[in-house]
């Protein structure tokens, strides 16, 4: 970010926007563009612990001058530097249990070069939560070839590789050494993020777009690669970690949305996410963890990664409804019938939890742990138009839409397997009637929420985009929401809050910034409700913004209006990659090609959007088939 750009008020965490990141969950390796690790948030992290905090290469005691840095994939980056006639290349690759750095030095001069090569490496074993909070790091311990560093809680780190050499290089000669860092977290009972057993299910035929716009092609490729790099497993079941570096673990809401947006990659991430969350579904009442019977957890972390929340925490008002919707959508997309049936008891428990709310689904829990329990979960994320924060318990508009959709789709799903679903439809119809009576404002759009007093939280917000396509709104209401969403479009994507609100701040977390996944959800809703030109406009914004971030969309960025020649303003601590931002890529494929799978026939149809030129998509996986679609600028696509 340029020095003149202000740091966002309330930005939580160190600045990361200029860092290069390699990911192979649960490991991530990030550093500035020069590749050196020497303070700050950079480092190699494995399972929420920094196992490499210092890595400095010197030649005769001086660091070579950086030349270039290039991302080679989700898990790899190359740095180049030089000192005199000596060229230095560092190829860094992260692995699930650590990483490697291959350092190659070449004499490009005409004479013999005599040089002392040295690598200084150290680990401080800092907790990722402490780094995010900006706490002083623990003392570093030097790492030497073959030595094992053991932390006080049993966390082990080993470095292997040659770290010093006295070299004599003739012209054209090379010297190469590879450093390998391996980490072993201590064995602990309970939940523990584990690497997947193999490559992503789509690895042999990855989702790929070839179009007239290279930005779109690169955005899809990067998003698909990042989703693969963020995959974790629980008892062999795949799910996407929320994001690097702060959230390489399971977040219920994030993982469910990522799986839904990524369904063109196949049903496996959705199925694995659902099975994992079902294993941790609430069974009793616990005021500390906010567990309730049938409730889907918000966040799970292992016991060795302490934070301010319990290791298994249920403070989410929307994950339970999203669980049912994700199961229904995965069923429509071709999830095997026996796998769907095995999850029906968990879906019924989730629907029963929704049914405990007699009026609206709202927060139930302690504001001291998480003040807002929807996706806009910052302390000031839900505000009235005059800038005052809404008081809990808060009933969010989008949560009512998720709950309605869950009850209706859940009823269909249950009846398809011979179970009773009609009582859930009845509950949904009552919720829709109450919503229509209480949430709609005179200005012609639904309130963000109802606060603890029952008063509507006014001001136009991107929450309204999540209502589209859920069935909660009638056709006239959908049209009104579609029109008003245009007022939130920055040109790069939807602002989370209208600029007319007193609390609007384009560089805040949730009060005017742009979140790519939020825009993609609205884009999908617009497409599914027949507002295809508005969907196309949002798609163009997401494609246009991608090059500014190396085609790796961040968690969020500034909501300033798009201007010719200007780039979007980064949000310094944003995660990049983040799962639901990476999942924007397959979501774009869904919208641009108009993909739809008929659960009855098993056929996938495509009705492409006009205005994007000829396009071909390969690697669409549905119901055991891998499909290719080709279209000529909006003409019906052929398989």
Is the confidence at residue 604, as pLDDT, over 50? Answer: yes
Distance CA 374, CA 241 (A): 18
Q: Does 100 score more than 70 pLDDT?
A: yes
Overall average pLDDT of the 61-86 stretch: 96
User: Could you read off the pLDDT of 418-433 as tens digits, one per residue?
Assistant: 999 999 999 999 999 9
Percent of the chain predicted with pLDDT > 90: 89
> Contact at 8 Å (CB) between 402 and 321?
yes
In the structure encoding, which two tokens stand for residue 274, read together? 């659902």
Collapsed DSSP state (helix, strand, coil) of residue 533: helix
**Domains observed in the chain:** 21-184 (2.70.98.40), 208-631 (1.50.10.10)
Indicate if the pLDDT at residue 545 is higher than 50: yes
d(CA 439, CA 80): 57
β-pairing, 164-169 vs 113-123, is antiparallel
Residues 283-312 have a mean pLDDT of: 90
Q: pLDDT class for 527, splitting at 50, 70, 90?
A: very high
Q: What is the mean pLDDT of the chain?
A: 94
For the chain, the distance separating the N- and C-terminal CA atoms, rounded to the nearest angstrom, is 44
Query: Is the predicted pLDDT of residue 96 greater than 50, yes or no?
Result: yes
Each residue's pLDDT tens digit, 550-565: 999 999 999 999 998 8
Q: DSSP code of 557?
A: B
**Is the pLDDT confidence value at 275 over 60?**
yes
Based on DSSP, count helices (H) and strands (E) in the chain, helices before strands: 14, 29
Model confidence at 639, pLDDT cuts 50, 70, 90, reads low
For residue 385 the two structure tokens come to 């138009």
C-alpha span between 476 and 432 (Å, rounded):
15
* C-alpha span between 484 and 470 (Å, rounded): 18
Place 2 in a pLDDT band, splitting at 50, 70 and 90.
very low
How far is the CA of 495 from the CAs of 207, 236, 258, 499, 510, in angstroms? Answer: 29, 38, 20, 8, 9
Question: Residue 5 above 70 pLDDT?
Answer: no
Rounded to whole angstroms, how far apart are CA atoms 476 and 481?
Answer: 9
CA atoms within 13 A on the CB side of 4: 0
Residue 120 has pLDDT above 70, yes or no: yes
List of residues 6+ apart from 101 with CB closer than 8 A: 55, 90, 91, 92, 93, 178, 179
What is the band of 636 on the pLDDT scale with cuts at 50, 70, 90?
A: low
Which is more confident, 311 or 599? Answer: 311
Strand order, beta sheet including 174-184: 65-73, 76-83, 86-95, 98-107, 174-184, 156-160, 148-150
pLDDT, average across residues 255-261: 98
* The three-state (H, E, C) secondary structure of 601-617, written as one string: CCCEEECCCCCCCCEEE
31 pLDDT tier (thresholds 50, 70, 90): very high
Residue 226's pLDDT band, with cuts at 50, 70 and 90, is: very high
Residue 1: per-residue pLDDT: 30
187 band by pLDDT with thresholds 50, 70 and 90: confident
Tell the burial category of 357 from Cβ atoms under 10 Å away from its Cβ (0-12, 13-18, 19+).
middle
Please report where in the chains the tokens 């690097």 appear, as a residue: 244
For residue 306, what pLDDT band results from cuts at 50, 70 and 90?
A: low
**Mean pLDDT within 329-333:** 96
From the list 510, 291, 326, 288, the residue with the least C-alpha distance to 405 is: 326
Confidence tier at 503 by pLDDT (50, 70, 90): very high
Radius of gyration of the chain (CA): 25
For residue 376, pLDDT beyond 50: yes
Per-residue model confidence (pLDDT) at position 413? 96
For tokens 């200005």, name the residue.
443
> 461 near 496, Cβ under 8 Å?
yes
Q: pLDDT tens across 430-447, in order?
A: 999 999 999 999 999 999
Q: What is the pTM assigned to this prediction?
A: 0.95
Could you tell me the two tokens for 477?
């209401």
Residue 4 pLDDT level (bands cut at 50, 70, 90):
very low
pLDDT, average across residues 300-327: 90
Q: Confidence class of residue 371 from pLDDT cuts 50, 70 and 90?
A: confident
């Amino acid at each position: 970010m340029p020095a003149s750009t202000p740091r966002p008020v309330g930005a939580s965490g160190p600045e990361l926007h200029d860092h290069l990141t390699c990911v192979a969950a649960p490991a991530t390796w990030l550093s500035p563009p020069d590749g050196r690790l020497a303070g700050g948030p950079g480092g190699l992290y494995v399972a929420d612990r920094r196992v490499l905090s210092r890595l400095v290469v010197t030649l005769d005691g001086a660091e070579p001058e950086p030349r270039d840095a290039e991302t080679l994939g989700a898990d790899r980056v190359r740095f180049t530097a030089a000192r005199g006639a000596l060229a230095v290349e560092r190829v860094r690759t992260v692995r699930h249990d650590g990483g490697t750095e291959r350092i190659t030095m070449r004499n490009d001069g005409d004479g013999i070069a005599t040089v002392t090569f040295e690598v200084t490496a150290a680990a401080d074993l800092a907790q990722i939560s402490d780094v995010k909070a900006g706490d002083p790091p623990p003392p570093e311990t030097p790492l030497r070839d073959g030595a094992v560093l053991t932390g006080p809680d049993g966390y082990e780190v080993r470095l292997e590789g040659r770290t010093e050499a006295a070299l004599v290089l003739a012209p054209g000669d090379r010297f190469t050494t590879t450093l390998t860092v391996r980490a072993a977290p201590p064995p602990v009972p309970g939940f523990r993020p584990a690497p997947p057993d193999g490559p992503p299910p789509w690895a042999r035929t990855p989702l790929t777009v070839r179009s007239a716009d290279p930005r779109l092609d690169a955005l899809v490729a990067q998003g698909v690669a990042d989703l693969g790099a963020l995959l974790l497993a629980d008892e062999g079941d795949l799910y996407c970690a929320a994001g690097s570096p702060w959230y390489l673990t399971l977040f219920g809401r994030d993982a469910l949305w990522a799986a839904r947006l990524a369904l063109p990659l196949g049903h496996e991430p959705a199925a694995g996410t659902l099975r994992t969350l079902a294993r941790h579904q609430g069974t009793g009442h616990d005021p500390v963890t906010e567990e309730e019977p049938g409730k889907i957890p918000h966040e799970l972390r292992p016991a060795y990664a302490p934070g301010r929340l319990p290791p298994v925490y249920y403070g989410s008002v929307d994950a339970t409804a999203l669980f049912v919707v994700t199961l229904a959508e995965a069923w429509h997309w071709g999830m095997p019938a026996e796998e769907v049936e095995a999850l029906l008891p968990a879906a019924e428990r989730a629907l029963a939890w929704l049914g405990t709310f007699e009026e609206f689904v709202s927060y139930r829990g302690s504001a001291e742990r998480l003040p807002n329990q929807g996706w806009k979960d910052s302390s000031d994320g839900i505000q009235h138009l005059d800038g005052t924060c809404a008081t809990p318990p808060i009933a969010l508009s989008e949560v009512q839409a998720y709950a309605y959709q869950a009850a209706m789709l859940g009823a269909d799903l249950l009846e398809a397997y011979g179970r009773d679903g009609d009582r859930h439809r009845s509950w949904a119809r009552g919720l829709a009637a109450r919503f229509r009576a209480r949430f709609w404002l005179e200005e012609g759009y639904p309130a963000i929420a109802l606060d603890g007093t029952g008063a509507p939280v006014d001001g136009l917000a991107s929450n309204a985009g999540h209502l589209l396509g859920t069935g909660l709104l009638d056709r006239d209401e959908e049209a009104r929401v579609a029109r008003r969403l245009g007022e939130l479009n920055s040109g790069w994507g939807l602002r989370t809050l209208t600029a007319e609100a007193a609390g609007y701040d384009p560089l805040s977390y949730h009060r005017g910034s742009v979140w790519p996944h939020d825009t993609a959800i609205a884009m999908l809703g617009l497409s599914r409700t027949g507002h295809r030109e508005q969907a196309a406009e949002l798609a163009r914004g997401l494609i246009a913004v991608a090059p500014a971030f190396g085609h790796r969309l961040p968690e969020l960025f500034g909501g300033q209006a798009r201007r010719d020649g200007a780039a979007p303003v980064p949000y310094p601590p944003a995660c990049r990659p983040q799962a639901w931002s990476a999942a924007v890529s397959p979501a774009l494929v869904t919208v641009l090609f108009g993909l739809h799978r008929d659960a009855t026939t098993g056929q996938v149809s495509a009705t492409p959007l006009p205005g994007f030129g000829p396009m071909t998509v390969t690697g669409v996986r549905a119901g055991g088939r891998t499909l290719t679609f080709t279209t000529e600028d909006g003409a019906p696509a052929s398989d």
